[in-house]
Amino acid sequence: MSVLKSALEHAVREEEILRNTLADSIETVQLSMGQELLEYARAATAPGAKTLSATEYRWLSRRLAEALTDALRVADSRGQRIPDQEEAAEDA
């Protein structure tokens, strides 16, 4: 294997590692923010909680929809990174 080809393959692996690390960090932040929002929504809609205005409920529902969208995107992304068990068995 040529030195150039080896260096290129190494650079590609390094880039993939960095991209995956960045994706993992972004996903962690998104899920953490979703968790905080869910806690707020539960408290805001609990029996005896102060009634929110229509604008506040609309804001809350939009943020919950955004958090759900992020969570589904994370689940899809992580699902794509999990090797198919049948393919893994065939490769072994």
Q: Is a pLDDT exceeding 90 seen at residue 1?
A: no
Q: Which helix (H) or strand (E) holds 54?
A: helix 54-81
Ramachandran assignment for 58, one of left (phi > 0), alpha (psi -120 to 50 degrees), beta (any other):
alpha
What confidence tens digit (pLDDT) does each residue in 3-34 have? Answer: 888 888 888 889 989 988 998 999 999 999 99
Sorted by sequence, the CB contacts under 8 Å of residue 44 that are 6+ apart come out as 50, 52, 56, 60
What is the rounded distance in angstroms from the CA atom of residue 76 to the CA atom of residue 38?
20
**Arithmetic mean of pLDDT, 72-79:** 88
Q: What ranges do the domains of the chain cover?
A: 3-81
pTM of the predicted model over 0.85: no
pLDDT at 92: 63
In this structure, which amino acid lies at residue 64?
A: L
